[in-house]
Structure 1
Amino acid sequence: MADQIAVVGNVDTHLDFHQAAVMDTIGRHLATASFPTTPDGGRRLLEWMRLHGDVLAVGVEGTGGYGSELARFLGVNEVSVVDVDRPDRKARRVHGKSDPVDAYTAATAVLFGRAHGRPKTRDGIVEAVRSLRMVRRSAVKSRTQTINQIRTLIVSAPAEVRERLRGLPTYQLIAQLARSRPGADLANPTCAVRTLLRPAGPLPSSRLRK
Protein backbone atom coordinates (compact mmCIF):
# COMPACT_ATOMS: atom_id res chain seq x y z
CA MET A 1 0.00 0.00 0.00
CA ALA A 2 1.49 3.31 -1.11
CA ASP A 3 0.43 5.28 1.95
CA GLN A 4 3.78 7.00 2.41
CA ILE A 5 3.66 9.17 -0.70
CA ALA A 6 1.70 12.39 -1.05
CA VAL A 7 -1.10 12.52 -3.63
CA VAL A 8 -3.55 15.01 -5.08
CA GLY A 9 -7.03 14.06 -6.19
CA ASN A 10 -9.79 15.54 -8.28
CA VAL A 11 -13.43 14.70 -8.80
CA ASP A 12 -15.39 15.36 -12.00
CA THR A 13 -18.90 15.52 -10.53
CA HIS A 14 -22.17 14.36 -12.09
CA LEU A 15 -25.75 13.73 -11.06
CA ASP A 16 -25.49 9.97 -10.50
CA PHE A 17 -21.75 9.30 -10.24
CA HIS A 18 -18.45 11.07 -9.60
CA GLN A 19 -15.30 10.36 -11.63
CA ALA A 20 -12.23 10.57 -9.39
CA ALA A 21 -8.55 10.68 -10.27
CA VAL A 22 -5.36 10.53 -8.19
CA MET A 23 -1.84 11.63 -9.10
CA ASP A 24 1.37 11.97 -7.16
CA THR A 25 3.19 15.23 -6.49
CA ILE A 26 5.31 15.01 -9.64
CA GLY A 27 2.26 14.64 -11.84
CA ARG A 28 2.18 10.91 -12.51
CA HIS A 29 -1.30 9.50 -13.08
CA LEU A 30 -1.92 6.80 -10.48
CA ALA A 31 -5.54 5.74 -10.89
CA THR A 32 -9.04 6.80 -11.85
CA ALA A 33 -12.38 5.34 -10.78
CA SER A 34 -16.05 6.27 -10.55
CA PHE A 35 -18.25 6.25 -7.46
CA PRO A 36 -21.99 6.71 -6.94
CA THR A 37 -23.22 10.05 -5.58
CA THR A 38 -24.40 8.54 -2.29
CA PRO A 39 -23.03 8.86 1.26
CA ASP A 40 -21.50 5.41 0.93
CA GLY A 41 -20.03 6.38 -2.44
CA GLY A 42 -18.39 9.42 -0.86
CA ARG A 43 -16.83 7.31 1.88
CA ARG A 44 -15.55 4.78 -0.64
CA LEU A 45 -14.10 7.55 -2.80
CA LEU A 46 -12.07 8.99 0.09
CA GLU A 47 -10.90 5.55 1.23
CA TRP A 48 -9.83 4.78 -2.34
CA MET A 49 -7.81 7.99 -2.59
CA ARG A 50 -6.13 7.33 0.75
CA LEU A 51 -5.06 3.88 -0.46
CA HIS A 52 -2.74 5.67 -2.87
CA GLY A 53 -1.08 7.91 -0.28
CA ASP A 54 -1.45 10.93 1.97
CA VAL A 55 -4.12 13.12 0.36
CA LEU A 56 -2.83 16.71 0.26
CA ALA A 57 -5.87 18.20 -1.47
CA VAL A 58 -8.85 17.24 -3.59
CA GLY A 59 -10.23 19.38 -6.38
CA VAL A 60 -14.00 19.18 -6.71
CA GLU A 61 -15.87 20.51 -9.72
CA GLY A 62 -19.20 22.14 -9.04
CA THR A 63 -19.02 22.62 -5.26
CA GLY A 64 -22.18 24.69 -5.54
CA GLY A 65 -24.03 21.95 -7.41
CA TYR A 66 -23.36 18.26 -8.03
CA GLY A 67 -20.25 18.35 -5.88
CA SER A 68 -21.72 20.17 -2.89
CA GLU A 69 -22.36 17.13 -0.68
CA LEU A 70 -18.99 15.58 -1.51
CA ALA A 71 -17.20 18.85 -0.72
CA ARG A 72 -18.96 18.96 2.67
CA PHE A 73 -18.02 15.35 3.40
CA LEU A 74 -14.37 15.88 2.51
CA GLY A 75 -14.22 19.03 4.63
CA VAL A 76 -15.67 17.22 7.64
CA ASN A 77 -12.94 14.60 7.20
CA GLU A 78 -10.24 17.29 7.27
CA VAL A 79 -9.41 17.07 3.58
CA SER A 80 -8.42 20.32 1.88
CA VAL A 81 -10.95 21.00 -0.89
CA VAL A 82 -10.32 23.21 -3.92
CA ASP A 83 -13.16 24.44 -6.11
CA VAL A 84 -12.19 23.60 -9.71
CA ASP A 85 -13.76 25.20 -12.79
CA ARG A 86 -15.26 22.80 -15.29
CA PRO A 87 -13.38 22.40 -18.59
CA ASP A 88 -14.29 24.85 -21.31
CA ARG A 89 -17.39 23.62 -23.15
CA LYS A 90 -16.04 24.67 -26.55
CA ALA A 91 -12.88 22.64 -25.97
CA ARG A 92 -15.00 19.67 -24.92
CA ARG A 93 -16.95 19.83 -28.18
CA VAL A 94 -13.74 19.97 -30.24
CA HIS A 95 -11.75 17.29 -28.41
CA GLY A 96 -14.56 15.14 -27.09
CA LYS A 97 -15.80 14.46 -23.56
CA SER A 98 -13.77 12.13 -21.35
CA ASP A 99 -14.47 12.00 -17.62
CA PRO A 100 -11.13 10.35 -16.67
CA VAL A 101 -9.18 12.87 -18.77
CA ASP A 102 -11.17 15.75 -17.26
CA ALA A 103 -10.46 14.45 -13.77
CA TYR A 104 -6.72 14.15 -14.40
CA THR A 105 -6.58 17.58 -16.05
CA ALA A 106 -8.25 19.19 -13.07
CA ALA A 107 -6.02 17.29 -10.63
CA THR A 108 -3.03 18.74 -12.47
CA ALA A 109 -4.51 22.21 -12.05
CA VAL A 110 -4.81 21.62 -8.30
CA LEU A 111 -1.29 20.21 -8.04
CA PHE A 112 0.39 23.14 -9.80
CA GLY A 113 -1.76 25.85 -8.23
CA ARG A 114 -3.77 26.84 -11.31
CA ALA A 115 -6.95 25.95 -9.41
CA HIS A 116 -7.28 27.65 -6.05
CA GLY A 117 -10.96 28.45 -5.66
CA ARG A 118 -12.60 28.17 -2.30
CA PRO A 119 -15.45 25.63 -2.17
CA LYS A 120 -18.91 27.13 -1.97
CA THR A 121 -20.46 26.60 1.44
CA ARG A 122 -23.83 24.85 1.57
CA ASP A 123 -24.59 24.99 5.28
CA GLY A 124 -25.86 27.28 8.01
CA ILE A 125 -28.34 30.14 7.63
CA VAL A 126 -27.00 31.12 4.19
CA GLU A 127 -27.96 27.74 2.76
CA ALA A 128 -31.35 27.85 4.50
CA VAL A 129 -32.13 31.27 3.02
CA ARG A 130 -30.88 30.17 -0.42
CA SER A 131 -33.19 27.14 -0.37
CA LEU A 132 -36.19 29.21 0.72
CA ARG A 133 -35.55 31.84 -1.96
CA MET A 134 -35.19 29.14 -4.63
CA VAL A 135 -38.51 27.55 -3.66
CA ARG A 136 -40.22 30.93 -3.51
CA ARG A 137 -38.97 31.89 -6.99
CA SER A 138 -40.25 28.60 -8.34
CA ALA A 139 -43.64 29.09 -6.67
CA VAL A 140 -43.99 32.64 -8.00
CA LYS A 141 -43.06 31.50 -11.50
CA SER A 142 -45.58 28.63 -11.39
CA ARG A 143 -48.29 30.96 -10.07
CA THR A 144 -47.67 33.46 -12.89
CA GLN A 145 -47.73 30.71 -15.53
CA THR A 146 -50.98 29.31 -14.13
CA ILE A 147 -52.70 32.70 -14.08
CA ASN A 148 -51.56 33.43 -17.64
CA GLN A 149 -52.91 30.06 -18.76
CA ILE A 150 -56.25 30.75 -17.07
CA ARG A 151 -56.60 34.12 -18.78
CA THR A 152 -55.71 32.58 -22.15
CA LEU A 153 -58.48 30.00 -21.69
CA ILE A 154 -60.93 32.74 -20.77
CA VAL A 155 -60.18 34.67 -23.98
CA SER A 156 -61.29 31.72 -26.15
CA ALA A 157 -64.06 30.50 -23.82
CA PRO A 158 -67.75 30.60 -24.77
CA ALA A 159 -69.29 34.03 -24.24
CA GLU A 160 -71.27 32.87 -21.19
CA VAL A 161 -68.04 32.05 -19.38
CA ARG A 162 -65.88 34.81 -20.86
CA GLU A 163 -68.15 37.70 -19.98
CA ARG A 164 -68.51 36.62 -16.35
CA LEU A 165 -64.76 36.35 -15.79
CA ARG A 166 -63.18 38.89 -18.10
CA GLY A 167 -61.57 41.84 -16.35
CA LEU A 168 -61.72 40.46 -12.82
CA PRO A 169 -58.71 41.08 -10.56
CA THR A 170 -56.69 37.93 -9.96
CA TYR A 171 -57.91 37.31 -6.39
CA GLN A 172 -61.58 37.70 -7.45
CA LEU A 173 -61.04 35.53 -10.50
CA ILE A 174 -59.53 32.65 -8.50
CA ALA A 175 -62.22 32.93 -5.82
CA GLN A 176 -64.94 32.85 -8.49
CA LEU A 177 -63.43 29.80 -10.18
CA ALA A 178 -63.04 27.99 -6.85
CA ARG A 179 -66.77 28.42 -6.18
CA SER A 180 -67.85 27.29 -9.62
CA ARG A 181 -69.80 24.07 -10.23
CA PRO A 182 -69.01 23.17 -13.84
CA GLY A 183 -71.20 20.07 -14.16
CA ALA A 184 -70.36 16.71 -15.66
CA ASP A 185 -71.16 17.03 -19.37
CA LEU A 186 -67.68 17.45 -20.81
CA ALA A 187 -69.11 17.23 -24.35
CA ASN A 188 -70.58 20.68 -23.69
CA PRO A 189 -67.91 23.37 -24.48
CA THR A 190 -69.08 25.62 -21.64
CA CYS A 191 -68.94 22.78 -19.11
CA ALA A 192 -65.55 21.63 -20.41
CA VAL A 193 -64.00 25.11 -20.08
CA ARG A 194 -65.44 25.57 -16.61
CA THR A 195 -63.95 22.22 -15.59
CA LEU A 196 -60.54 23.21 -16.93
CA LEU A 197 -60.66 26.56 -15.16
CA ARG A 198 -61.73 25.30 -11.76
CA PRO A 199 -58.80 25.00 -9.29
CA ALA A 200 -58.11 21.62 -7.72
CA GLY A 201 -59.02 23.17 -4.37
CA PRO A 202 -59.89 26.58 -2.93
CA LEU A 203 -57.01 28.82 -1.90
CA PRO A 204 -56.90 30.62 1.48
CA SER A 205 -58.40 34.07 1.07
CA SER A 206 -55.32 35.69 2.65
CA ARG A 207 -53.24 34.48 -0.33
CA LEU A 208 -55.69 35.34 -3.09
CA ARG A 209 -55.02 39.06 -2.77
CA LYS A 210 -51.25 38.75 -3.29
Structure 2
Amino acid sequence: MPSITPDNAAVEVVGGVDTHQDTHTAAVIDLVGRVLGTQQFPATTAGYTALLTWMRGFGRLPRVGVEGTGAYGAGLARRLRDEQVELVEVDRPDRKTRRFQGKSDPIDAIQAAKAALAGERTGTPEQRDGRVVALRNLRVARRSAVDQRADTQRQIKALIVTAPDQLRAQLRGLAVKQLIATCASLQLDPADAAAPATAATIALRSLARRHQQLSAEITELDELLEPLVAAINPGLLAAHGVGPDVAGQLLVTAGENHDRLTSEAGFAMLCGVAPIPASSGRTNRHRLNRGGDRQANAALYRVVLVRLRWDPRTRAYAEQRTKEGLSKKEIIRCLKRYVARELYQLITSKDLELAA
Protein backbone atom coordinates (compact mmCIF):
# COMPACT_ATOMS: atom_id res chain seq x y z
CA MET A 1 0.00 0.00 0.00
CA PRO A 2 1.47 3.40 -0.97
CA SER A 3 2.11 5.98 1.72
CA ILE A 4 2.27 9.77 1.57
CA THR A 5 5.85 11.00 1.21
CA PRO A 6 7.34 14.45 0.55
CA ASP A 7 7.51 13.47 -3.14
CA ASN A 8 3.81 12.71 -3.55
CA ALA A 9 2.29 15.00 -0.90
CA ALA A 10 1.90 17.80 -3.49
CA VAL A 11 0.67 15.48 -6.24
CA GLU A 12 -3.03 15.72 -7.03
CA VAL A 13 -4.83 12.52 -7.99
CA VAL A 14 -8.40 11.50 -8.83
CA GLY A 15 -10.13 8.32 -7.66
CA GLY A 16 -12.79 6.12 -9.17
CA VAL A 17 -14.85 3.35 -7.57
CA ASP A 18 -16.94 0.56 -9.07
CA THR A 19 -19.37 -0.50 -6.34
CA HIS A 20 -20.91 -3.92 -5.65
CA GLN A 21 -22.83 -5.47 -2.79
CA ASP A 22 -19.86 -7.12 -1.05
CA THR A 23 -16.82 -5.37 -2.50
CA HIS A 24 -15.77 -2.04 -4.01
CA THR A 25 -13.01 -1.81 -6.61
CA ALA A 26 -11.03 1.44 -6.54
CA ALA A 27 -8.67 3.04 -9.01
CA VAL A 28 -6.42 6.11 -8.83
CA ILE A 29 -5.18 8.16 -11.79
CA ASP A 30 -3.08 11.29 -12.09
CA LEU A 31 -4.18 14.52 -13.78
CA VAL A 32 -3.09 13.30 -17.23
CA GLY A 33 -5.09 10.07 -16.92
CA ARG A 34 -2.28 7.61 -16.14
CA VAL A 35 -3.38 4.72 -13.94
CA LEU A 36 -1.47 4.68 -10.65
CA GLY A 37 -3.12 1.62 -9.12
CA THR A 38 -6.26 -0.47 -8.61
CA GLN A 39 -7.36 -2.33 -5.50
CA GLN A 40 -10.43 -4.15 -4.16
CA PHE A 41 -11.88 -3.47 -0.68
CA PRO A 42 -14.77 -4.93 1.31
CA ALA A 43 -17.99 -2.90 1.33
CA THR A 44 -17.87 -2.28 5.07
CA THR A 45 -17.06 0.63 7.35
CA ALA A 46 -13.52 -0.65 7.80
CA GLY A 47 -13.28 -1.19 4.03
CA TYR A 48 -14.28 2.43 3.34
CA THR A 49 -11.53 3.61 5.68
CA ALA A 50 -8.95 1.38 4.01
CA LEU A 51 -10.06 2.47 0.54
CA LEU A 52 -9.74 6.15 1.37
CA THR A 53 -6.37 5.67 3.06
CA TRP A 54 -5.09 3.73 0.05
CA MET A 55 -6.20 6.44 -2.39
CA ARG A 56 -4.65 9.23 -0.33
CA GLY A 57 -1.39 7.32 -0.32
CA PHE A 58 -0.89 8.40 -3.94
CA GLY A 59 -1.29 12.12 -3.21
CA ARG A 60 -3.91 14.75 -2.51
CA LEU A 61 -7.38 13.43 -3.28
CA PRO A 62 -9.83 16.27 -4.02
CA ARG A 63 -12.33 14.25 -6.07
CA VAL A 64 -13.66 10.71 -6.40
CA GLY A 65 -16.02 9.38 -9.04
CA VAL A 66 -18.38 6.66 -7.81
CA GLU A 67 -20.74 4.51 -9.84
CA GLY A 68 -23.95 3.69 -7.96
CA THR A 69 -24.01 6.26 -5.14
CA GLY A 70 -27.72 5.64 -4.59
CA ALA A 71 -27.40 1.87 -4.18
CA TYR A 72 -24.30 -0.18 -3.31
CA GLY A 73 -22.19 2.98 -3.03
CA ALA A 74 -24.42 4.80 -0.51
CA GLY A 75 -22.25 3.95 2.49
CA LEU A 76 -19.05 4.96 0.73
CA ALA A 77 -20.70 8.19 -0.44
CA ARG A 78 -21.54 9.14 3.15
CA ARG A 79 -17.96 8.45 4.24
CA LEU A 80 -16.52 10.59 1.43
CA ARG A 81 -18.78 13.49 2.39
CA ASP A 82 -17.70 13.18 6.01
CA GLU A 83 -14.08 13.35 4.85
CA GLN A 84 -14.77 16.50 2.78
CA VAL A 85 -13.89 14.73 -0.48
CA GLU A 86 -15.81 15.95 -3.53
CA LEU A 87 -18.11 13.16 -4.65
CA VAL A 88 -19.02 12.82 -8.32
CA GLU A 89 -21.61 10.35 -9.54
CA VAL A 90 -20.63 8.76 -12.84
CA ASP A 91 -22.67 6.80 -15.33
CA ARG A 92 -21.70 3.30 -16.30
CA PRO A 93 -19.35 3.16 -19.33
CA ASP A 94 -21.19 3.28 -22.64
CA ARG A 95 -21.46 0.23 -24.87
CA LYS A 96 -18.82 1.42 -27.33
CA THR A 97 -16.23 1.77 -24.56
CA ARG A 98 -17.02 -1.66 -23.17
CA ARG A 99 -16.92 -3.23 -26.61
CA PHE A 100 -13.37 -2.02 -27.20
CA GLN A 101 -11.95 -2.24 -23.67
CA GLY A 102 -13.86 -5.16 -22.17
CA LYS A 103 -15.66 -5.41 -18.85
CA SER A 104 -14.11 -5.92 -15.42
CA ASP A 105 -14.31 -4.19 -12.05
CA PRO A 106 -10.83 -2.54 -12.37
CA ILE A 107 -11.68 -1.31 -15.88
CA ASP A 108 -14.95 0.19 -14.64
CA ALA A 109 -13.18 1.83 -11.68
CA ILE A 110 -10.60 3.37 -14.02
CA GLN A 111 -13.36 4.65 -16.29
CA ALA A 112 -15.12 6.18 -13.25
CA ALA A 113 -11.91 8.01 -12.31
CA LYS A 114 -11.40 9.26 -15.86
CA ALA A 115 -15.01 10.44 -16.07
CA ALA A 116 -14.61 12.34 -12.78
CA LEU A 117 -11.38 13.90 -14.08
CA ALA A 118 -12.92 14.96 -17.41
CA GLY A 119 -16.32 15.92 -15.99
CA GLU A 120 -18.12 13.86 -18.65
CA ARG A 121 -21.22 11.73 -17.97
CA THR A 122 -21.18 12.90 -14.36
CA GLY A 123 -23.57 14.51 -11.91
CA THR A 124 -23.98 15.59 -8.31
CA PRO A 125 -25.37 12.66 -6.30
CA GLU A 126 -28.35 12.98 -3.99
CA GLN A 127 -27.72 13.29 -0.28
CA ARG A 128 -28.93 10.20 1.58
CA ASP A 129 -29.91 11.88 4.84
CA GLY A 130 -32.63 14.27 5.97
CA ARG A 131 -36.41 14.41 5.80
CA VAL A 132 -36.63 13.73 2.06
CA VAL A 133 -34.86 10.41 2.55
CA ALA A 134 -37.36 9.57 5.31
CA LEU A 135 -40.12 10.48 2.86
CA ARG A 136 -38.58 8.22 0.23
CA ASN A 137 -38.48 5.25 2.61
CA LEU A 138 -42.12 5.67 3.65
CA ARG A 139 -43.19 5.99 0.01
CA VAL A 140 -41.41 2.75 -0.87
CA ALA A 141 -43.52 0.92 1.71
CA ARG A 142 -46.72 2.65 0.59
CA ARG A 143 -46.15 1.97 -3.10
CA SER A 144 -45.49 -1.69 -2.34
CA ALA A 145 -48.73 -1.93 -0.34
CA VAL A 146 -50.71 -0.21 -3.12
CA ASP A 147 -49.32 -2.56 -5.77
CA GLN A 148 -50.03 -5.63 -3.66
CA ARG A 149 -53.56 -4.46 -2.92
CA ALA A 150 -54.22 -3.96 -6.63
CA ASP A 151 -52.90 -7.47 -7.36
CA THR A 152 -55.11 -8.89 -4.61
CA GLN A 153 -58.16 -7.16 -6.03
CA ARG A 154 -57.46 -8.54 -9.51
CA GLN A 155 -57.06 -12.03 -8.09
CA ILE A 156 -60.41 -11.77 -6.29
CA LYS A 157 -62.18 -10.78 -9.48
CA ALA A 158 -60.47 -13.56 -11.44
CA LEU A 159 -61.62 -16.14 -8.87
CA ILE A 160 -65.18 -14.87 -9.05
CA VAL A 161 -65.25 -15.46 -12.82
CA THR A 162 -64.63 -19.20 -12.32
CA ALA A 163 -66.45 -19.60 -9.00
CA PRO A 164 -69.51 -21.88 -8.65
CA ASP A 165 -72.74 -20.36 -9.96
CA GLN A 166 -74.29 -19.67 -6.56
CA LEU A 167 -71.19 -17.91 -5.22
CA ARG A 168 -70.66 -16.00 -8.46
CA ALA A 169 -74.26 -14.78 -8.45
CA GLN A 170 -73.82 -13.56 -4.86
CA LEU A 171 -70.68 -11.54 -5.62
CA ARG A 172 -71.06 -10.29 -9.19
CA GLY A 173 -72.12 -6.67 -9.59
CA LEU A 174 -70.94 -5.55 -6.15
CA ALA A 175 -68.89 -2.39 -5.79
CA VAL A 176 -65.28 -2.95 -4.71
CA LYS A 177 -65.78 -1.85 -1.12
CA GLN A 178 -68.90 -3.99 -0.71
CA LEU A 179 -67.25 -6.90 -2.52
CA ILE A 180 -64.26 -6.91 -0.16
CA ALA A 181 -66.48 -6.72 2.92
CA THR A 182 -68.72 -9.54 1.67
CA CYS A 183 -65.81 -11.84 0.78
CA ALA A 184 -64.08 -11.17 4.10
CA SER A 185 -67.19 -12.29 6.01
CA LEU A 186 -67.91 -15.46 4.03
CA GLN A 187 -68.76 -18.48 6.21
CA LEU A 188 -67.33 -21.92 5.41
CA ASP A 189 -66.40 -25.33 6.70
CA PRO A 190 -62.58 -25.75 6.59
CA ALA A 191 -62.95 -29.51 6.91
CA ASP A 192 -64.39 -29.62 3.39
CA ALA A 193 -61.49 -27.72 1.74
CA ALA A 194 -61.16 -30.41 -0.96
CA ALA A 195 -64.49 -29.34 -2.50
CA PRO A 196 -64.02 -26.75 -5.28
CA ALA A 197 -66.78 -24.48 -3.96
CA THR A 198 -65.34 -24.48 -0.43
CA ALA A 199 -61.81 -23.92 -1.71
CA ALA A 200 -63.00 -20.93 -3.76
CA THR A 201 -64.73 -19.49 -0.69
CA ILE A 202 -61.60 -19.95 1.45
CA ALA A 203 -59.45 -18.27 -1.20
CA LEU A 204 -61.83 -15.33 -1.60
CA ARG A 205 -62.06 -14.77 2.14
CA SER A 206 -58.28 -14.95 2.54
CA LEU A 207 -57.66 -12.49 -0.30
CA ALA A 208 -60.35 -10.10 0.95
CA ARG A 209 -58.86 -10.01 4.45
CA ARG A 210 -55.42 -9.42 2.94
CA HIS A 211 -56.94 -6.53 0.96
CA GLN A 212 -58.34 -5.05 4.18
CA GLN A 213 -55.00 -5.41 5.93
CA LEU A 214 -53.18 -3.67 3.09
CA SER A 215 -55.76 -0.86 3.09
CA ALA A 216 -55.20 -0.32 6.80
CA GLU A 217 -51.43 -0.27 6.21
CA ILE A 218 -51.81 2.33 3.43
CA THR A 219 -53.98 4.51 5.66
CA GLU A 220 -51.42 4.30 8.45
CA LEU A 221 -48.61 5.33 6.09
CA ASP A 222 -50.69 8.20 4.67
CA GLU A 223 -51.13 9.55 8.19
CA LEU A 224 -47.33 9.75 8.42
CA LEU A 225 -46.69 10.99 4.89
CA GLU A 226 -49.11 13.91 4.64
CA PRO A 227 -47.76 15.95 7.59
CA LEU A 228 -44.18 15.15 6.54
CA VAL A 229 -44.78 16.48 3.02
CA ALA A 230 -46.50 19.57 4.44
CA ALA A 231 -43.58 20.22 6.77
CA ILE A 232 -40.99 19.90 4.00
CA ASN A 233 -42.68 22.16 1.41
CA PRO A 234 -46.16 23.54 2.16
CA GLY A 235 -46.06 25.76 -0.94
CA LEU A 236 -45.72 22.77 -3.26
CA LEU A 237 -48.57 20.97 -1.52
CA ALA A 238 -50.81 24.04 -1.99
CA ALA A 239 -50.32 24.18 -5.77
CA HIS A 240 -53.36 23.49 -7.94
CA GLY A 241 -53.68 19.78 -8.67
CA VAL A 242 -50.87 18.76 -6.31
CA GLY A 243 -51.80 16.40 -3.48
CA PRO A 244 -49.62 14.68 -0.89
CA ASP A 245 -48.78 11.78 -3.21
CA VAL A 246 -47.71 13.99 -6.14
CA ALA A 247 -45.83 16.41 -3.89
CA GLY A 248 -44.07 13.55 -2.13
CA GLN A 249 -42.95 12.01 -5.41
CA LEU A 250 -41.60 15.29 -6.79
CA LEU A 251 -39.72 16.04 -3.55
CA VAL A 252 -38.16 12.58 -3.66
CA THR A 253 -37.20 13.06 -7.31
CA ALA A 254 -35.59 16.44 -6.60
CA GLY A 255 -33.78 15.03 -3.57
CA GLU A 256 -32.65 16.50 -0.27
CA ASN A 257 -29.98 18.61 -2.01
CA HIS A 258 -32.22 19.90 -4.78
CA ASP A 259 -29.76 22.74 -5.36
CA ARG A 260 -27.94 20.23 -7.59
CA LEU A 261 -30.72 20.98 -10.11
CA THR A 262 -29.27 24.13 -11.63
CA SER A 263 -32.28 25.05 -13.78
CA GLU A 264 -35.91 24.23 -14.41
CA ALA A 265 -34.81 22.65 -17.70
CA GLY A 266 -32.67 20.22 -15.71
CA PHE A 267 -35.63 19.37 -13.49
CA ALA A 268 -37.79 18.81 -16.58
CA MET A 269 -35.15 16.47 -17.99
CA LEU A 270 -34.99 14.62 -14.67
CA CYS A 271 -38.77 14.12 -14.82
CA GLY A 272 -38.68 13.01 -18.46
CA VAL A 273 -40.80 15.90 -19.76
CA ALA A 274 -38.12 17.83 -21.69
CA PRO A 275 -38.39 17.23 -25.45
CA ILE A 276 -35.31 15.63 -27.00
CA PRO A 277 -33.83 17.27 -30.14
CA ALA A 278 -34.06 14.92 -33.13
CA SER A 279 -33.02 17.25 -35.97
CA SER A 280 -30.99 16.25 -39.00
CA GLY A 281 -30.18 18.26 -42.12
CA ARG A 282 -33.18 20.36 -43.06
CA THR A 283 -35.42 18.55 -40.62
CA ASN A 284 -35.89 20.41 -37.35
CA ARG A 285 -37.93 18.45 -34.84
CA HIS A 286 -38.08 17.07 -31.30
CA ARG A 287 -39.04 13.63 -30.10
CA LEU A 288 -40.71 12.25 -26.98
CA ASN A 289 -38.44 11.89 -23.95
CA ARG A 290 -38.76 8.37 -22.56
CA GLY A 291 -36.00 8.82 -19.98
CA GLY A 292 -35.98 10.40 -16.56
CA ASP A 293 -37.89 9.38 -13.44
CA ARG A 294 -41.07 7.75 -14.72
CA GLN A 295 -42.78 8.07 -11.33
CA ALA A 296 -42.21 11.83 -11.46
CA ASN A 297 -43.46 11.87 -15.04
CA ALA A 298 -46.64 10.13 -13.92
CA ALA A 299 -47.05 12.61 -11.06
CA LEU A 300 -46.90 15.56 -13.49
CA TYR A 301 -49.39 13.77 -15.73
CA ARG A 302 -51.89 13.57 -12.87
CA VAL A 303 -51.47 17.30 -12.18
CA VAL A 304 -52.18 18.05 -15.86
CA LEU A 305 -55.33 15.89 -15.85
CA VAL A 306 -56.67 17.72 -12.80
CA ARG A 307 -55.98 21.11 -14.33
CA LEU A 308 -57.49 20.16 -17.68
CA ARG A 309 -60.73 19.51 -15.86
CA TRP A 310 -60.81 22.27 -13.24
CA ASP A 311 -58.39 25.07 -14.22
CA PRO A 312 -59.84 27.65 -16.69
CA ARG A 313 -56.41 28.78 -17.93
CA THR A 314 -55.33 25.24 -18.70
CA ARG A 315 -58.58 24.49 -20.51
CA ALA A 316 -58.24 27.67 -22.56
CA TYR A 317 -54.69 26.71 -23.50
CA ALA A 318 -55.84 23.24 -24.56
CA GLU A 319 -58.60 24.70 -26.73
CA GLN A 320 -56.18 27.10 -28.41
CA ARG A 321 -53.61 24.37 -29.14
CA THR A 322 -56.35 22.07 -30.44
CA LYS A 323 -57.32 24.74 -33.00
CA GLU A 324 -53.65 24.87 -34.03
CA GLY A 325 -53.82 21.18 -34.91
CA LEU A 326 -52.15 19.54 -31.91
CA SER A 327 -53.46 16.22 -30.64
CA LYS A 328 -54.50 15.68 -27.04
CA LYS A 329 -51.32 13.71 -26.32
CA GLU A 330 -49.16 16.52 -27.71
CA ILE A 331 -51.03 19.10 -25.63
CA ILE A 332 -50.54 17.05 -22.47
CA ARG A 333 -46.81 16.78 -23.19
CA CYS A 334 -46.59 20.58 -23.53
CA LEU A 335 -48.56 21.06 -20.32
CA LYS A 336 -46.34 18.66 -18.39
CA ARG A 337 -43.35 20.78 -19.42
CA TYR A 338 -45.06 23.97 -18.20
CA VAL A 339 -46.13 22.34 -14.94
CA ALA A 340 -42.57 21.14 -14.34
CA ARG A 341 -41.35 24.73 -14.76
CA GLU A 342 -43.90 26.03 -12.26
CA LEU A 343 -43.33 23.33 -9.64
CA TYR A 344 -39.55 23.63 -9.91
CA GLN A 345 -39.87 27.21 -8.68
CA LEU A 346 -41.91 26.00 -5.70
CA ILE A 347 -39.49 23.20 -4.87
CA THR A 348 -36.52 25.60 -4.88
CA SER A 349 -38.38 28.60 -3.44
CA LYS A 350 -36.58 28.42 -0.06
CA ASP A 351 -33.22 28.62 -1.75
CA LEU A 352 -34.41 31.55 -3.87
CA GLU A 353 -35.60 33.43 -0.80
CA LEU A 354 -32.27 32.89 0.94
CA ALA A 355 -30.41 34.08 -2.13
CA ALA A 356 -32.53 37.26 -2.24
Q: TM-score range by the shorter chain?
A: 0.7 to 0.9
1:95 and 1:187 map into 2 onto residues whose CA distance is: 61
Structure 1 residue corresponding to 2:205, chosen from 191, 198, 201: 198
Q: Which residue matches 1:25?
A: 31
1:154 deviates by 0.9
Deviations 1:64-110 (A, max 9, x none): 33322221221011111111111124653675421111111221122
Cα gap change, 1:138 to 1:91, in 2 (>3 Å): farther
Native 8 Å contact 1:68 1:120 kept in 2: no
* Structure with a larger share of its residues in strand: 1
Cα gap change, 1:43 to 1:167, in 2 (>3 Å): farther
2:96 and 2:159 map into 1 onto residues whose CA distance is: 43
Work out the number of aligned pairs and report it: 208
Native 8 Å contact 1:12 1:20 kept in 2: yes
Q: Which residue matches 1:126?
A: 132
Structure 1 residue corresponding to 2:179, chosen from 161, 166, 173: 173
Native 8 Å contact 2:27 2:109 kept in 1: yes
1:102 aligns with 2:98: no
Q: Which residue matches 1:8?
A: 14
Q: Which residue matches 1:60?
A: 66
Cα gap change, 1:91 to 1:191, in 2 (>3 Å): farther
Cα gap change, 1:116 to 1:207, in 2 (>3 Å): closer
Query: What letter is aligned with 1:194?
Result: T
TM-score by length of 1: 0.86
Q: How does 1:35-184 map to 2 (within 5 A)?
A: 35-89=41-95, 91-92=97-98, 96-114=102-120, 116-184=122-190
RMSD of aligned Cα (Å): 2.5
Query: What letter is aligned with 1:26?
Result: V
Q: Greater relative contact order (Cα 8 A, min sep 6): structure 1 or 2?
A: 1
Q: Which range moves more in the overlay, 37-46 or 97-106?
A: 37-46
Native 8 Å contact 2:17 2:27 kept in 1: yes
1:137 and 1:90 map into 2 onto residues whose CA distance is: 37
2:174 and 2:31 map into 1 onto residues whose CA distance is: 70
Q: Which residue matches 2:300?
A: none
- Structure 1: gaps (5+ residues): none
Q: Which range moves more in the overlay, 163-172 or 71-80?
A: 163-172
% identical equivalent positions: 50
1:115 deviates by 5.2
Secondary structure in 2 aligned to 1:15? coil
Q: Which residue matches 2:318?
A: none
2:134 and 2:100 map into 1 onto residues whose CA distance is: 40
- Structure 2: gaps (5+ residues): 220-356
Query: What letter is aligned with 1:146?
Result: T
Deviations 1:4-49 (A, max 9, x none): 2332111112233222111223322122122233333222222222
Q: Which range moves more in the overlay, 116-125 or 74-83?
A: 116-125
1:61 deviates by 1.2
Q: Which range moves more in the overlay, 78-87 or 128-137?
A: 128-137
1:113 and 1:173 map into 2 onto residues whose CA distance is: 57
Query: What letter is aligned with 1:119?
Result: P
1:66 and 1:106 map into 2 onto residues whose CA distance is: 15
2:63 and 2:23 map into 1 onto residues whose CA distance is: 20
Q: Which residue matches 1:188?
A: 195
Cα gap change, 1:174 to 1:67, in 2 (>3 Å): same
2:59 and 2:165 map into 1 onto residues whose CA distance is: 77
2:27 and 2:187 map into 1 onto residues whose CA distance is: 63
TM-score by length of 2: 0.53
Cα gap change, 1:177 to 1:35, in 2 (>3 Å): farther
Cα gap change, 1:166 to 1:59, in 2 (>3 Å): same
Cα gap change, 1:141 to 1:112, in 2 (>3 Å): same
